[in-house]
Amino acid sequence: MEKDPSLIWPRCEQIGDGYGLKCKKHRIIPKGILTACYNNLHLSICTDEAIKEVRQFRQILFCRKMPYTGTVFFEEYLKMRSEAEEKLFKQIEKIRGADADAMRDAAAYVQSLAAPPGSLGKLTDAAVQLAGITGRVKNTLDRRRIIVMCADNGVVAEGVSSTPPIVTLSQALNMTRHLTGMSSLARHFGCEVEVVDIGIATPYQGKDSGILQCRIRRGTGNIANEPAMSREEAVAAILVGIERARQASKDGVDVIGVGEMGIGNTTTSSAVLAALTDLSVENVTGRGGGLTDAAFAKKKKVIARALELHGLKSISAGEAGTVKGFGNPDPIDVIAKVGGLDIAAMCGVFLGAALYRLPVVIDGFISIVAALCAQRLCGIAREYMFPSHVSEEIGYMRAAEELCLDPWLHMNMRLGEGSGCPLAFQILEASCALMNEMATFEQAKIDDGYLAELRAMQS
């Protein structure tokens, strides 16, 4: 079977070319071997010529105390994937990076604007990134849409949230009436809001509710006792997110934001972030919508216990908040075991934005964890993402660092919902205004020769 191994498992991004090569964090890959994690089993997916090196590779895994199941060839690995998962990865394979030529042209145009080099900072950085996405130096963002994925989380049964689950439905309905924090800001700034039921648990009359009906199931399982969902359900939710991005593109939307509504989703987001990184539960878990000290301590213990239960991390002796990771887990597996339907669908929106070449804004903690999942499935999806605000949740900046993102706004916000998106849209519109309306040195009749030496120093 003719297949590029780097496309079979986009998470790993490349084939190793010898012992000692480090791919991302702490990963050493022998020649011709692609590492992956499938249903918590560490696999080595090999080209025929790599078979002689498998024994040595196995020893590397043993030294790292990673589970190992032997050699899996391309054909066998592909059979493991469901039809829906095959569809997902085929769509991921179609994602292409930003237009480098357009970015070069935009950067050159920025240099021609009548301002000291670099003086417009992140505004012109955003303009250059936008050019790479659209292929145009000058852009407008006339239609802006916030896609909100709504779902309940079974882990609330453990007392990890002070808010009752029915609030998920209540606020989803209120979003359609522009009564929540995010939706009131969206209406003020002329942004569209699309509210999607991907897993609301409370029964309601869906027809004429204003909520888009895409429910995979009524809430997730309690991750403290069982997987959040099946792998198939996680894939289905991701595909829903990709479809919502496709529809936004078809509708002529110029930029999308990704929000959520789901009681208990800071717990699932912390669990996913801990599983995807080397970070401890203590370093990624905050108080969400507000918790007493006792409830906060319980929340961290529940997350640590769930990670161990599902084989994602082990708890160090005597330290409930400290965990040790098992290699580089598959994001879909992580979402299925300890994530949420909202996280899965939001991950899909980020992937869809990259697939359909739409700029996409990250909101707060849950949103950025979903963005990280998307990036781990397809590295170049990161090129389509823009930050908004720094969430007060402790794990937010950890995820931002993983994505190499520097958030624009520092406003002590922690609402979620997508509330940072309408604010970030305004910043993106400002970056467009500079490119569209600001004079160049030539138009302003200013000789910029005095900047030649400074530009040479900065190049």
Cα–chain center distance at 321: 24
Q: Which amino acid is at 453?
A: E
Residues 153 and 264: beta-carbon distance below 8 Å: yes
Residues 229 and 341: beta-carbon distance below 8 Å: yes
Residue with tokens 């597996």: 333
Which among 394, 407, 337, 396 is positioned nearest to 372, based on CA atoms?
A: 396
Give the residues across from 391 on adjacent strands.
Answer: 413
Count other Cβ atoms within 10 Å, centred on residue 249.
Answer: 17
Residues 72 and 45: beta-carbon distance below 8 Å: yes
Cα–chain center distance at 242: 13
Active site annotation includes 243: no
Residues 230 and 239: beta-carbon distance below 8 Å: no
Residues 201 and 152: beta-carbon distance below 8 Å: yes
Phi, psi of 145 (to 5 degrees): -130, 135
Q: Which of 417, 429, 442, 453 is catalytic?
A: 417
Catalytic residues: 417
